Amino acid sequence: MKPKYIDIAERLEKKIKDGELQPKSMLPKESDLQEEFSVSRVTIRKSLQILVDNNLISRTRGSGTYVNDLKAQHDALHLLGFIEEVSKQGKTPSSQVIKFELKKPNEQVAKQLNLSPNDDTYEIHRLRCINDEPEIYEVTHMPAMLFPDLSIAIMNGSKYEYIENSKGLKIAKSSQSVKPYLLDTETASYLNESEASPILKVESTGYLEDGRAFEYTVNYFRLHQYSFEFISTRT
């Protein structure tokens, strides 16, 4: 049986995630929570500390405890495009193409996409925003032979929608690697961060149903409005 303070923290977290407790709203007073859950003040404070540690609530001295805006969650176990993933969570995604070039692949790109050094690839840099705030700097490489009509207009929208709906190709899976990273000067300027700020660097290679690699992407996650969710099951 789980400790009471953990159970209370989980129940309050559910209320926040279900929208019963709205972002920026004040949490009930500790005395009211004591009465609601029939526990001591010490137990309530331990429960609230869990929510503070998980960045779900914030305490303001002399004012009260408030519900934070929820971060968009990146579910690494389910392959969704950025626009679909963020929209499903009630936030507004947008993209801006920073760079769009047709070029020969370097050694790493050629290896990930199973290309020869003489094949053409598109290199696309995009700034991904949530509610107009920069959150991800994305560098994507895509084989030109698969997507000869790829354009800036297409990449300003949903890449996955273009691949599956316009090209009629079926996306099967993505192999991802997540590492800590210190921002370089150029990327930091797009993300409104300082050089050498710590972020997450996520490298991924996407595969079609027939086994062909269709993209190699490096995403730099600022993590101001994004969190990662990994769910492991024991079999």
Query: Domain residues of the chain, as ranges?
Result: 4-67, 72-229
Helices (H), ranges, 18-59: 30-37, 41-53
Whole-number Cα distances in Å, 92 to 66, 101, 170: 23, 27, 26
**Which stretches of the chain drop beneath a pLDDT of 70?**
70-87, 89, 225-235
pLDDT at 235: 56
- CA 32 from chain center: how many Å? 35
Q: Is 187 exposed, middle or buried (0-12, 13-18, 19+ CB in 10 A)?
A: buried
By percentage, how much of the chain surpasses pLDDT 90? 48
**CATH of region 72-229, choose from 3.40.1410.10, 3.40.50.2000, 3.40.50.2300, 3.30.360.10:** 3.40.1410.10
pLDDT at 76: 44
116: its two tokens: 């020869």
**Distance of alpha carbon 219 from alpha carbon 36, whole angstroms:** 44
pLDDT at 152: 95
pLDDT at 78: 45
pLDDT at 66: 86
pTM above 0.75, yes or no: no
Nearest one of 97, 104, 204, 95 to 144, comparing CA atoms: 104
Q: Is 185 exposed, middle or buried (0-12, 13-18, 19+ CB in 10 A)?
A: exposed
pLDDT at 16: 81
Q: What is the CATH number of domain 4-67?
A: 1.10.10.10
pLDDT at 53: 82
